[in-house]
Amino acid sequence: MIVCKFGGTSMATAETINKVKDIILSDPERKFIVVSAPGKRDSKDIKVTDLLYKAYDEQQKNGSCKETLNKVRDRFVSLCENLKIDLDINPYIDEIAKQMPKTISADYAASRGEYLAGIVMAKVLNFKFIDATEIIKFNANGVFENELSNDLIKRLKNEKSGVVIPGFYGKMPDKSIKTFTRGGSDFTGALIARGVNASLYENWTDVDGFSVANPQIVKNPKSMESLTYEELRELSYMGASVLHPDSIFPVKVEGIPIQIKNTFNPSAKGTMITKELHTKENQPIVTGVAGRKHNTSVLLKKPMMNNEIGFARKVLSVFERRCISVEHLPTGIDTMSVVFSNVLTKEEEANLIEDLKIAVNPSFIEIEKNLSLIAIVGHGMASTKGTAAKVFTALANSDINIILIDQGSSELNIIVGVEDKDFENAINAIYSAFYE
Ligand code: ASP
């Protein structure tokens, strides 16, 4: 049994939804369908989810969201007309209009795109619509209830017909709607795949597969045929944006493969994401390169730091108190850098420095901003000599200064830090070193 998730571009127009329909109906194994809200129809268009967030803001500011909600209405009405389905979507939108002044939640507003898309898709396919609120649960603090949701999803296995489920949201105990973070329908799809014990989780999008590097930075990068859950986790965490970074957790437990497929080119192989290491010959050493700009690093120096028991704990507790999640901790004998992705205000910087001075009394402390982190990821690295040398040579030849180096203990990645201004050049240099 296959769980399929279709993203916003697949759900954007009647034409694309008909492609989705053909894909689903071409294989009876495709029984559980998770949908995103309709995305952009062209580069100037606005995603339905963004319109709904805007409607919520307008409602808060002006006491009415009629104008923007009518744009959502128009979009769904014309979608239904063009699909020639016997569905009057207006009462559903009327209900949203009625709820908007009452609800205080942006999550409720944003979730309605997936909800309406699910209603439409179920009609198109003649499948059963099951609202995500019935199976995806959050506790009163808004924390996702993993076990409870999984138990509820498991019951879907008994469904006789195909099922359509809206992605992205679920319900809290007080019946209010809670969404995952943006792009969260991928996560919903993964949860359904785990719950119904699917043989495959197909994630249908608008690219032929996972690119080795961001196509907005590298011209026509190669696509990956396969990668492991761990590699995907590293790459998506570092900014590669085909899949929501949390999506692998549910499927990883059961070892369910994820396949990235292209709705607009269904015969393309796509990218397969599995548990096992690649065994193929000619497997590249580096599976992918991804990175993020605008990180911050705090450099601390103190003579005899290495002998001071508890130094790292004291430093880290300052970051914990300030709710800053630490990403990397490269250390020297008497130096330590703490790298994190937050961009601090002047005041926050001053406070952080003050706290660190009190905690560990360093001889030198400096905040470095505009730091880009780039991850070079691949299981092949563990068994191949010279990978780091190749990365550093490529960067040196492009006249790029490396500010930081960190290698994960699993030897799955090498992280380098460069100045934001060098980010794009660095990605290109590394890509060329391994792929050209
Ligand atoms: N529609 C939501 C978003 O734009 C969720 C999703 O597409 O997965 O983020």
Q: Give me the mean pLDDT over the 49-78 stretch.
A: 96
Compute CA distances 92 → 51, 87, 98, 119, whole Å.
Answer: 16, 10, 10, 9
Best residue among 47, 50, 54, 168 to mutate for probing ligand 1, ranked by most atoms within 8 Å of CB = 168
DSSP string, 33-77: EEEPPP--SSTT---HHHHHHHHHHHHHHHS--HHHHHHHHHHHH
Secondary element (H or E) of residue 17: helix 14-25
**Least confidently predicted of 93-97, 99-103, 312-316, 379-383:** 379-383
At 179, list the tokens: 């969404």
**Residue appearing with tokens 């391994």:** 434
pLDDT digits (tens, 9 = 90+) for 342-367: 899 999 999 999 999 999 999 999 99
At 122, list the tokens: 């179920």
The answer to whether domain 288-435 has CATH 3.30.2130.10 is yes
For residue 328, give the nearest of 405, 398, 393 by alpha carbon.
Answer: 405
Best residue among 47, 244, 247 to mutate for probing ligand 1, ranked by most atoms within 8 Å of CB = 47
pLDDT surpasses 70 at 277: no
Backbone angles phi, psi at 106, to 5 degrees: -65, -30
pLDDT for 282 equals: 61
The answer to whether domain 2-206 has CATH 3.40.1160.10 is yes
Nearest CA residue ID for atom 5, ligand 1? 183
Please state, rounded to an integer, the average pLDDT across all residues of the chain: 94
Nearest CA residue ID for atom 2, ligand 1? 183
Q: What angle do CA 385, 229, 331 make, to 5 degrees?
A: 55
SS3 call for 373: strand
Separation between Cα atoms, residue 161 and residue 32, nearest integer Å? 9
Domain coordinates in residue numbering, the chain:
2-206, 288-435
pLDDT digits (tens, 9 = 90+) for 418-435: 999 999 999 999 999 999
Separation between Cα atoms, residue 314 and residue 262, nearest integer Å? 49
Separation between Cα atoms, residue 68 and residue 57, nearest integer Å? 10
CA 110 to ligand 1 centroid distance, Å: 9
Compute CA distances 10 → 5, 136, 179, whole Å.
Answer: 10, 23, 21
Spell out the residues 6+ positions from residue 139 whose beta carbon is closer than 8 angstroms to its own: 145, 172, 173
